[in-house]
Structure 1
Amino acid sequence: MTAHAVRTGVWFIGARGSVATTATAGCAAIAAGLHPATGMVTETPPFADSGLPPLTSLVFGGHDTLDCPLPKRAEALAAGGVLPHGLPSAVRAELTAADTEIRPGGPHPGDTRTDEELVAAFAADLTDFARRHDLARTVVINVASTEPAPAEDDTRLPASSLYAAAALRAGCPYANFTPSTGLRSPRLQDAVDTCGLPHAGRDGKTGQTLLRSVLAPMFVQRALPVRAWSGTNLLGGGDGAALADPAAAAAKNAGKERVLADTLGAAPEGEVHIDDVPAMGDWKTAWDHIAFDGFLGSRMILQTIWQGCDSALAAPLVLDLARLLARAHEAGLTGPRPELGFYFKDPDGGPAALSEQYAELLAFAGQLRAAR
């Protein structure tokens, strides 16, 4: 293939969900010049010469257990104000093309296939996708609903780990944008250690935790002890329904608390509560209440409110990750990429503060540039 013909696959786990639909529609809109690349860090000047695959070269597919076609899902998102009015019609051809590349996920209720059979089937889907589209490589990104953490006595791999294992078997770089287990299962450790592929993080950092990774270092740097840090999330849509399960919510909150513990040295008092409010649709409100000590013991409080659309916050980040991991793979980089901690609540090592993570990301862009 000539350089201009090289194409890169982006395979979403949860390909008919809000995040994947928004990312697929958004990529098409940006590539066509219909909208600017707002929120895409990889479209800023520091990444201009890093050899990232152009947005026009990305080919989308994925796994999902739902059967709602992408054009219809995009129309629902536009009706809810997530996508601009008229965009689903403008990029219908691209959404339809991506929808034809979505394969049934699993395991479904009553599915009698073993873990090995499921992994083999998912890996075959990836291999077939790459072959039919003559792709240089495919990046697999998990954007499915949060699953509960597996119990110690579980004899089966969780679904997220089945998909992750399939990505490794098919030779695909992988990122887990959810709190689900993914590659972090002990049963996959040998495969992870020997895969020779770049992979990144767990649980995307889009809203409340993004603010925490900025504010927590401020308190440390100003020598202001934090006494308590409490939060509440109100959200609807698929995430709200999934996180109504206490076990799934606990998996989600672990990442939020980790940022504070890593930055402050210990987790402060306080918890994060997640409430499912179906009427909010794909929008969410996150509120934080921070109690801290000032000079001579004066008691102070900082409160923050973050209101936004999770899928619109996440979509540019998963496009960034797809491009960065594809380029890392092309450059021969392997293993966990702590340089991508900027995007995750639970990164593969590295600093916890956003400013330091951003500096590492810029250094990574320079490393990719030098490898051209």
Structure 2
Amino acid sequence: MNTSDTPHAPEVGAWFIGARGSLATTATLGIHALALGAAAPVGLTTETDAVRVEEFPAIGGIVVGGHDISTTPLDERAAQLAAGGMFPAALVEATRGRLRETEENLRPVPTLTTTQQEEIDLLAADIIDFRDRHDLREVVVIDVSSTEPLPPYHPCFDDDDLLQTALTTPGVRVLPPSSRAALAAIAAGAAYAAFTPSASLTLAVLRERADRAGIAYAGQDGKTGETLLRTVLAPMFAARGFRVQSWAGTNLLGGGDGATLADPEAVRSKLVSKNRGLHALVGDDVVAPLHIDNVPDLGDVKTAWDHVNATGFLGSRVTLQTTWSAYDSALAAPLVIDLVRSLSLATRAGHAGVVPALGCFFKDPWGSDVHGFGDQTAQFVAWVHETAAAVAAARVAAP
């Protein structure tokens, strides 16, 4: 296990977009708690027996930085989350010193810029400065910011020359924040993951830039709760020959996510990513109504109800009902740490482009049409061991 109170030299940077949000704060506290030996690596895929390899960066060697529009200090944000039951208050006290040290690595999102290219350059400069100050081997940028409305189509989304003209023209605003952050990661030469359903690298012209830059990247939209359960159960119905007729779902959540997804434009991309995998597994003709409702008093706890109606042998009815309730950021935080370690491993192996084998972490995986969780996990396990072996062989061969 790569978690202990043994000091590790800074090795890899985790740069969070939305660094003071619930998810990033939980992940940051988790990294520090694991490094101090104050918590066990429960929920970390990269610390399971099937996946653990020495070539993953030590958790104690991960340095955290990031961008955010919020100014609430990390230790205060962590205390707020602990008060809501996300994790014990004792962990905040155990990591408070490290959280305050991390605060020195957080930067505001630039606002007083005349062009979007100027903002992207400033964002990239912050990432490069972070890497250089800590003498890091690589930086992994993870977008864990709030879901944003999808941008209206613009011709520059398909043409790099048109995009560059738009980015350098004063007053023109064509790219949403998630895409600007992704371009900053590309410009900084950092690996990148989109943990949200926002536009990010889904725009064709940006994906081409990422490929040309040769960074490792993965996405999209973290698979933590209801969708995770669906991609476990749906293959069962298909394997047993049942015909699923409807799969209805309702999500109840409060906190920042609930408020954000109360916006019908912001929730649109979330609904699409949540249902795409289900349709891929049980068919496009399945009726799949899905609702996301803001219930403020739930705070950071998310509850999901699903009702599945299927036809079995001789036309008999098969019905399944599920309830999933958890602190969503506590489900997502270990996956974010897994992605930092996995994309670091990919970078060390010289991987350039999308990493399809990381699909088990996402609702709408880039570069892969595999959605069944069992198949995705098998792909990830195989990829980890193959990639780790390549890194180990290169290390032995190095003079």
What TM-score, normalized to structure 1?
Answer: 0.96
The code of the aligned residue for 1:291 comes to N
- Given candidates 235, 249, 254, the residue that maps to 1:231 is 249
Deviation at residue 182 of structure 1 after TM alignment: 0.9
Give the match for residue 93 of structure 2.
89
Deviation at residue 267 of structure 1 after TM alignment: 5.0
Decide which moves more: 316-325 or 84-93: 84-93
Separation in 1 of the partners of 2:267 and 2:220?
Answer: 15
Deviations 1:180-204 (A, max 9, x none): 1111123313312201111001100
Deviation at residue 32 of structure 1 after TM alignment: 1.0
The code of the aligned residue for 2:126 comes to D
Asked whether the 8 Å contact 2:10–2:62 carries over to 1, the reply is no
Give the match for residue 243 of structure 1.
261
Describe the SS at the equivalent of 2:323: strand
Q: Does 1:67 align with 2:86?
A: no
Asked whether the 8 Å contact 2:143–2:178 carries over to 1, the reply is yes
Structure-to-structure mapping, 1:1-372, within 5 angstroms: 5=9, 7-105=11-109, 108=111, 111-153=112-154, 156-348=174-366, 349-371=368-390, 372=392
Asked whether the 8 Å contact 2:17–2:141 carries over to 1, the reply is yes
Decide which moves more: 165-174 or 41-50: 41-50
- Which runs of 5 or more structure 2 residues have no equivalent in the other structure? 1-7, 156-172, 393-399
Separation in 1 of the partners of 2:285 and 2:59?
Answer: 40
Deviation at residue 264 of structure 1 after TM alignment: 1.4
Separation in 2 of the partners of 1:278 and 1:49?
Answer: 41
Separation in 2 of the partners of 1:5 and 1:246?
Answer: 45
Separation in 2 of the partners of 1:205 and 1:135?
Answer: 29
Deviation at residue 301 of structure 1 after TM alignment: 1.5
The code of the aligned residue for 1:55 comes to I
Asked whether the 8 Å contact 1:203–1:346 carries over to 2, the reply is yes
Aligned-pair Cα RMSD in Å: 1.3
Deviations 1:83-136 (A, max 9, x none): 212211110011111111111125x5xx54311011101000001101111111
Separation in 1 of the partners of 2:208 and 2:52?
Answer: 36
Describe the SS at the equivalent of 1:117: helix
Higher relative contact order (CA 8 A, sep 6+): 1
Asked whether the 8 Å contact 1:340–1:361 carries over to 2, the reply is yes
Separation in 1 of the partners of 2:10 and 2:345?
Answer: 12
Report how many aligned residue pairs link the two structures: 366
Deviations 1:292-311 (A, max 9, x none): 11111122311100000100
The code of the aligned residue for 2:266 comes to A
Describe the SS at the equivalent of 1:191: helix
Separation in 2 of the partners of 1:81 and 1:150?
Answer: 35
Describe the SS at the equivalent of 1:301: strand
Describe the SS at the equivalent of 2:345: helix
Separation in 1 of the partners of 2:359 and 2:88?
Answer: 30
Separation in 2 of the partners of 1:5 and 1:192?
Answer: 29
Asked whether the 8 Å contact 2:275–2:288 carries over to 1, the reply is no
Describe the SS at the equivalent of 1:86: helix
Deviation at residue 153 of structure 1 after TM alignment: 4.4
Deviations 1:171-227 (A, max 9, x none): 000000000111112331331220111100110000000001011111110110111
Separation in 2 of the partners of 1:360 and 1:189?
Answer: 23
Deviation at residue 60 of structure 1 after TM alignment: 0.3
Decide which moves more: 166-175 or 155-164: 155-164
Deviations 1:145-185 (A, max 9, x none): 00011112495101000000000110000000000111112
The code of the aligned residue for 1:227 comes to Q
Asked whether the 8 Å contact 2:113–2:119 carries over to 1, the reply is no
Separation in 2 of the partners of 1:161 and 1:245?
Answer: 20
Percentage identity across aligned positions? 49
What TM-score, normalized to structure 2?
Answer: 0.89
Asked whether the 8 Å contact 1:46–1:365 carries over to 2, the reply is no
Separation in 2 of the partners of 1:34 and 1:53?
Answer: 19
The code of the aligned residue for 1:367 comes to E
Describe the SS at the equivalent of 1:291: strand
CA 1:308–1:267 in 2, change beyond 3 Å: closer, same or farther? farther
Deviation at residue 6 of structure 1 after TM alignment: 5.2
Deviation at residue 278 of structure 1 after TM alignment: 1.0
The code of the aligned residue for 2:114 comes to R
The code of the aligned residue for 2:298 comes to M
Deviations 1:234-290 (A, max 9, x none): 001110011001111111011111011111132511311111111111111000011
